[in-house]
């Protein structure tokens, strides 16, 4: 099975006048030609997903929402209606639609993050504030405590 944990690193970029970003060359092969641009469901950023990762998410999560689960259907509807599929051009650029740029507050300066199975696009200033919000050491401890509790059946 091919690993989907391919994306790491942080890169500063700028939108061009046509609303496109240049994807860092180290990510291009792993992304593939067709990508999916998705509003983050947790932060004001944009996910860029390779086609196989988007299909995995749809199959594992979205397809299994009961038709009788109103909240689940609303989430599915809201998410899917804002997804844009796109193809990278020969220069490694992807067009970012205005509605997604508005969601993320992106006007010009963009930070591209590799987050294992996806890329994230952030307004550079929002990313700086997010990164300063909670020290890494504190986050690591919180996640480790949840992980330990889940595996031992207790909380720390």
Q: According to the model, what pLDDT value does residue 33 have?
A: 87
Q: What is the pTM of this model?
A: 0.84
User: What average pLDDT score do residues 28-40 get?
Assistant: 93
Identify the CATH number of the domain in which residue 48 sits.
Answer: 3.40.1550.20
Encode pLDDT of 78-131 as tens digits: 888 889 999 999 999 999 999 999 999 999 999 999 999 999 999 999 999 998
Domain coverage including residue 30: 7-124
Q: According to the model, what pLDDT value does residue 2 have?
A: 52
Predicted confidence (pLDDT) at residue 52 exceeds the cutoff of 50: yes
Q: Does 138 map to a domain?
A: no
Q: Does 139 map to a domain?
A: no
Helix (H) or strand (E) holding 86: strand 84-87
* Pairwise CA distance, residues 84 & 91, whole Å: 20
Q: Does 129 map to a domain?
A: no
Tell me how many domains the chain contains.
1
């Amino acid at each position: 099975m091919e690993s989907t944990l391919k994306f790491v690193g942080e890169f500063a970029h700028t939108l061009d006048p046509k609303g496109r970003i240049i994807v860092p060359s180290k990510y291009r092969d792993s992304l593939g030609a067709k990508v999916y641009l998705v509003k983050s469901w947790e932060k004001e950023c944009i996910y860029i997903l390779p086609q196989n990762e988007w299909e995995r998410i749809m199959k594992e999560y979205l397809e299994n929402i009961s038709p009788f689960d109103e909240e689940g259907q609303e989430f599915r509807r809201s998410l899917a209606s804002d997804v844009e599929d796109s193809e990278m051009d020969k220069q490694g650029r992807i067009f970012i639609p205005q509605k997604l740029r508005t969601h993320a507050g992106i006007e010009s300066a963009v930070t591209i993050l590799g987050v294992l199975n996806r890329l994230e696009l952030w307004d550079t200033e929002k990313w700086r504030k997010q990164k300063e919000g909670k020290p890494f050491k504190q986050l690591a401890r919180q996640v480790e405590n949840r992980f330990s509790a889940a595996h031992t059946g207790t909380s720390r």
